[in-house]
Amino acid sequence: MGHNTTSTSHLETSDIIRVSEDFYRKAEHAIPRISRQFVVFLAEGEFSDLFSRFAQDGICRILPKHDDLYERLGWDRFLTQHRQGLDGDLHCLTLKSGLKRQFQLTHSDDKLFLMDEILAWLSENKLPDADYSNALVMLLEEMLENSLYAAPRDGQDKPYYSKGESRELKENEKIGIDVTLDEGVLGLMVTDNWGTLSPATFLKHLEHAMQEGIVAGVGGGGLYMMWRMSDYLQIRIHPHHKTQITVLWDLNKPFSMNPNTGFQCLYHSEQEEVMG
């Protein structure tokens, strides 16, 4: 484990510990329990067979080393995501000159209207492939379902609301939607102020869906879809304050259900969650 020794100049962020796939597959010992915010696994190829180990070791930052999306946007944007930015994650990851739309959800009944607004905006700006706009709408539906029904939980981790019930957001509750289209990259971000997800839960859901498929009534299928149907997935959690989910699509290549999508799940707290 340590700094990657390849000649690529984009892996110079000094506070990151890079774990190469070759090292990780050969290692017979567990990864030391250091702060998971600073550990990045650099995948050489398909890595879905490692999910059980990722969950055990608490590795929740996985970046495919040979993906053109990272080269184009700049590796530092991805490697420094553990550091807090003033802008939302989507705007830190993408270029500043692109097209942007922002929406605020105030009622569960707003969902379909906002989806139509976003589709119309993408059509006006000539999004080149309908597969991407369809994927965006599907993932937006999942993100909003999470923010409306799965995320609002009490101190015993019981949901406040039944899935699908019509409800108005409370005065101090916020759900924001950001969409960007810029230089061949489509981006979507949904932010709520619950912060009830954890990296351990996220990894376990992905591992379960990889092994068992998406099962009706079993939580986590939406997170799995976000991973498989995007070209990059990022989740930032401030416990009990904020969850921000961001996905990117590389419009320079055909849409695919990619089993090698990179993801980063960042958890900010004074006492980092013990995972395993």
User: CA 248, CA 250: separation in Å to the nearest integer?
Assistant: 7
pLDDT at position 105 is 95
On whether the CB atoms of residues 231 and 254 are closer than 8 A, the answer is no
Cα separation, 82 vs 253, in Å, equals 28
Q: pLDDT tens for residues 201-214?
A: 898 888 888 777 66
> Residue 105 phi/psi, 5° resolution?
-85, 130
User: Is the separation of the CB atoms in 150 and 223 below 8 Å?
Assistant: no
pLDDT at 5: 34
Contact 257, 138 (CB under 8 A): no
pLDDT in tens, 220-263: 688 999 999 999 999 999 998 999 999 999 999 999 998 889 99
Q: Where do the H-state alpha helices sit in 125-220?
A: 130-145, 199-212
Alpha carbon separation from 146 to 79, 140, 162, 190, 255 (Å, rounded): 27, 10, 11, 10, 24
In sequence order, which residues have a C-beta less than 8 Å from that of residue 114 and are 6 or more positions away? 103, 105, 177
pLDDT at 265: 94
Ranges of the chain with pLDDT below 70: 1-14, 28-35, 84-86, 128, 213-220, 270-276
- 8 Å CB contact between 33 and 57: no
Taking the C-alpha atoms of residue 220 and residue 214, their distance in angstroms, rounded to an integer, is 8
DSSP 8-state secondary structure symbol assigned to residue 38: G
Q: Which value, in Å, is the radius of gyration of the alpha carbons in the chain? A: 18
Decide: helix, strand or coil at residue 17: strand
Regarding beta strands 185-192 and 242-250, do their DSSP bridges make them parallel or antiparallel, or are they unpaired? antiparallel
Cα gap 218→208, rounded to integer Å: 10
User: Mind listing the domains of the chain with CATH numbers?
Assistant: 17-267 (3.30.565.10)
**Residue 43 DSSP label:** E
What is this structure's pTM?
0.89
User: What's residue 83's pLDDT?
Assistant: 81
| Predicted pLDDT at 34 | 60
